[in-house]
């Protein structure tokens, strides 16, 4: 989120001919649970102000998913955000909560362009 990967990915897709991009941002650790040093939160806020957060304990935190959604929307990408905190929800994997490794997956899918007339 802080290194510009979202924007570079959207630019690369557009350069390759994408005309309409949509994204789904899935559950992740939320801003209330992702404590970071104040300096890191300040850096995140420079990239995406909505990413700056405060933890349950009142300490500096970052909401990475909010920052990603913000960056996508700033580039006119249609976004569906499936909210959920992986640390708070027992149904979602969390190394922070379970202290064991797990696996995640990401999917990029190219759909054929629709022409006028619905074909």
In this prediction, residue 22 has a pLDDT band, given cuts at 50, 70 and 90, of very high
Residue 14 predicted with pLDDT over 50: yes
- What count of Cα atoms within 13 Å lies in the side-chain half-sphere of residue 86? 18
41 CB neighbour count, 10 Å cutoff: 21
In this prediction, residue 114 has a pLDDT band, given cuts at 50, 70 and 90, of low
Helix (H, G, I), strand (E, B) or coil at 107: coil
Residue 18 predicted with pLDDT over 60: yes
Residue 12 predicted with pLDDT over 80: yes
Average pLDDT score, the chain? 88
pLDDT at 115: 58
Q: Which CATH number fits domain 5-98: 3.40.50.150, 3.40.50.720, 3.30.420.40, 3.60.140.10?
A: 3.60.140.10
**Gap between the Cα atoms of 85 and 89, Å rounded:** 6
pLDDT at 86: 87
Domain spans, the chain: 5-98
CB 47 within 8 A of CB 77: no
In this prediction, residue 119 has a pLDDT band, given cuts at 50, 70 and 90, of very low
CB 46 within 8 A of CB 67: no
Backbone φ, ψ for residue 44 (5° rounding): -65, -40
Top pLDDT among 92 and 44 is at 44
The reported pTM is 0.82
pLDDT at 30: 93
CB 81 within 8 A of CB 23: no
According to DSSP, residue 100 is labeled S
């Amino acid at each position: 989120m802080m290194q510009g990967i979202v924007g570079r990915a959207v630019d690369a897709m557009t350069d390759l001919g994408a005309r309409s991009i949509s994204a789904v941002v899935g559950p992740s650790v939320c801003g209330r649970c992702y404590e970071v040093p104040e300096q890191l939160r300040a850096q995140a806020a420079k990239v995406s102000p909505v990413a700056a957060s405060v933890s349950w304990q009142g300490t500096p935190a970052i909401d990475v998913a909010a920052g990603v959604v913000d960056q996508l929307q700033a580039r006119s990408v249609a976004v569906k955000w499936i909210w959920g905190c992986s640390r708070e929800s027992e149904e979602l994997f969390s190394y922070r909560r379970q202290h064991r490794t797990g696996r995640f997956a990401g999917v990029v899918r190219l759909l054929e362009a629709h022409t006028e007339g619905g074909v």
